[in-house]
Chain A
Amino acid sequence: MDTSVETLVNREYAYGFVTPIEADTFMPGLSEDVVRAISAKKDEPEWLLEWRLKAYRKWLTLTEPHWANVKYAPIDYQAIRYYSAPRTAKPLGSLDEVDPELLKTYAKLGIPLNEQKLLTGVAVDAIFDSVSVATTYKAKLAEYGVIFCPLSEAVREHPDLVQKYLGSVVPYGDNYFAALNAAVFSDGSFVYIPKGVKCPLELSTYFRINTADVGQFERTLIVAEERASVSYLEGCTAPKRDTNQLHAAVVELVALDDATIKYSTVQNWYAGDKDGKGGIYNFVTKRGKCAGARSKISWIQVEAGSAITWKYPSCILQGDDSVGEFYSVAVVNNHQQADTGTKMIHVGKNTRSTIVSKGISAGHGNGSYRGLVKVLPRAENARNYTQCDSMLIGNKCGAHTFPYIDIQNPTATLEHEASTSKIAEDQIFYLKARGLNTENAISMIVNGFCKEVFLNLPTEFAVEAQKLLGVSLEGSVG
């Protein structure tokens, strides 16, 4: 009965190409010398080198975590190259100086860096392997006092801000991958929104891994001062390769009184082939601190790529009346594995959090939701709402839910809803009987399932996310 669905073609990953560009790439291997060399490449101040070295020494004492519901062969950290930059990359005065080969690459990815052709209202920082190669609309943003630049540039231009906030939410020794990142991070985006400013543009970073064997360890830091607000989006792709590549990023968000940060991710790293060969290991630490009263941090993620995803974008709700949100769609197809969720740590009074997680498992994919809601003793009247839904497509995939709850204040109110459903042949047939082909039928059903999350994405990207979901699930019903 499934022949009609089984014969679907599996569309190729459209971003799997390699850019032929001369790169300045380190030999594989990790040591204190490598850490020093990265720091030297970037001409960093002493305090930052010291911070990196502390992180490296801490990392040596840690062991790789294996509590996540994912399986993979041991990672050889000495086989990874910790730095790779296009040869031409240097501090750029304007976009005209960007290597045409790089501009072509980003155009091919649908991210034209030419400002006239850009999505209106979106400024982009383009990160290629280990370095930022272009940032658009910097001048326009500067008029508002908004800083949006590569982190390496911020270290030079705004050292006080960076030193104040770097590691303030995710300390260098936070966990194994965060420590590794702190030791070898190469670049990333820095965003600073001054008091009372509503960022006039959507900010976006586009991450691209190009060089083989290279690990990408970017670090993003976003600070919103009192009454500031910003919406930020990251996108990611990588070439198709037979070997696995490590991406261990750190994102830190800081929201002061009445500030709002919305951080959206559309993650489409190469997921490996149909048999599970190759793909990106996406081991990421993302955390936001609602440091001020009435501040708000929202994480919205659409996780469609990567061979393995391990990430828990979290909120520390420290300020009274602060709000944390986590809206997630995580898709696993073929042999993909994802263990993702969030942590909501209620510290302040009247803090509220919302968690909406939609997991979709297809093929041999294995998806897990893992979430912690913690209410500390001082957090009077904390409230959490959690909704956790899983959809199974086919009968070889898995969906798991690991909710953890730790309540230390009796005034807390928590609600938890969960469901698991199987995409029904009857739904597909119903839509086919109205003229939709199988792909469009599945896409419609899945998008309906994820609607609450997509409604929270910036509109320009909601459409992209829906398409991405359709492509990720092609050939998934059998």
Chain B
Amino acid sequence: MLEIKNLTAKAGDKEILTGISLTVKAGEVHAIMGPNGSGKSTLAQVLAGHPSYEVTGGSVTFLGQDLLALEPEKRAQAGVFLAFQYPVEIAGVTNAYFLRAAFNEQRKARGEEEVDPIDFIDLLEEKLKIVEWGPEIMQRAVNFGFSGGEKKRNEILQMAVLSPKLAILDETDSGLDIDALRIVANGVNKLQRPDAATIVVTHYQRLLDHVVPDFVHVLAGGRIVKSGGKELALELEARGYEWLEDSAIAGARA
């Protein structure tokens, strides 16, 4: 589904990704872990097409398409979804209007008919259950005045509505209390499908207690320095990242 080959990227003059290669197949859950500044969030943003990063080398193929050649909206329309680490507030635009607009843009891109507001409410009802929300949330402005936890739940709600083929969760667990973490994690689990894949970017093990990954990759210095199964996450929890960083630096010197 997703094939990243030797991807390098920079922000300004600063090289952040120094050569990432990763293959993700349908139905899989991959966790990307690593210390602060290792490039985890950059990888997520680069895959979504954030204009602040410049890809300097390598390739990303998504369902046979050159993902890097696509505008961010085309990537979204192709089925890539990024749950933002810092969801953005849009004043004066209701969640309902925003979600329907996004939903319809993606339908149009697939050559499907747009859904009118009435039918959309029916569809939403199902999706709201996933994040344990009532309909009131739809009349509030997008993320405006939302608590940190509400913002993250709203990301999962959007994911539920848009049912992406590839969901990238960028530190979705950061800043969540126990209840919010449970709701978010349950949401992610419910949304997993055999034909869709999930990449969970996280600093900590705790989300992975709920969303169990098939593979864990550790990023350091802008590249993957170690890959393993879910037990790797536990090892990281116990030992920290330092031992990997040291070997990454050693590897870079070699």
Contact = CB atoms under 8 A, between A and B. Distances in A.
Interface of A: 1-4, 424-427, 429-438, 440, 444-445, 447-452
B101 A4 contact: no
Nearest to B143: A430
B172 interface: no
24 contacts: A425-B52, A426-B88, A429-B49, A429-B88, A430-B87, A430-B88, A432-B71, A432-B72, A432-B73, A433-B48, A433-B73, A433-B81, A433-B82, A435-B105, A436-B73, A436-B105, A437-B73, A438-B73, A444-B101, A447-B92, A448-B141, A450-B92, A451-B92, A451-B93
Most buried by B among A425, A433, A436, A452: A433
A302 to B, nearest CB: 15
Given A426-B88, A445-B93, 14 more contacts: A1-B52, A3-B51, A425-B51, A431-B90, A432-B49, A432-B76, A433-B72, A433-B73, A433-B75, A434-B105, A444-B90, A444-B98, A447-B92, A451-B93
A401 to B, nearest CB: 19
A4 B92 contact: no
Interface in B132-155: 141
B77 interface: yes
- Sorted nearest first, the 4 A-B pairs with minimum C-beta distance are A448-B92, A448-B93, A451-B92, A434-B102
Interface in B67-93: 71-73, 75-77, 81-82, 84, 87-88, 90-93
B188 interface: no
Q: How large is the interface on B (under 10, 10 to 19, 20 to 34, 35 or more residues)?
A: 20 to 34
Q: Is chain A's binding surface mostly helix, strand, loop or mixed?
A: helix
Residue from the set A1, A3, A4, A431 with the largest chain B CB neighbour count within 10 Å: A431
B3 to A, nearest CB: 21
B190 interface: no
Nearest to B54: A1
B150 to A, nearest CB: 16
A424 to B, nearest CB: 7
Contact of B92 (A426, A437, A440, A449): A449
A311 to B, nearest CB: 25
Interface string B20-47: 0000000000000000000000000000
Contacts of B76: 432-435
Given A2-B51, A429-B72, A448-B141, A435 B92 contact: no
Contacts of B98: 431, 434, 444
Contacts of B105: 434-437, 440
A434 B162 contact: yes
A438 B101 CA distance: 13
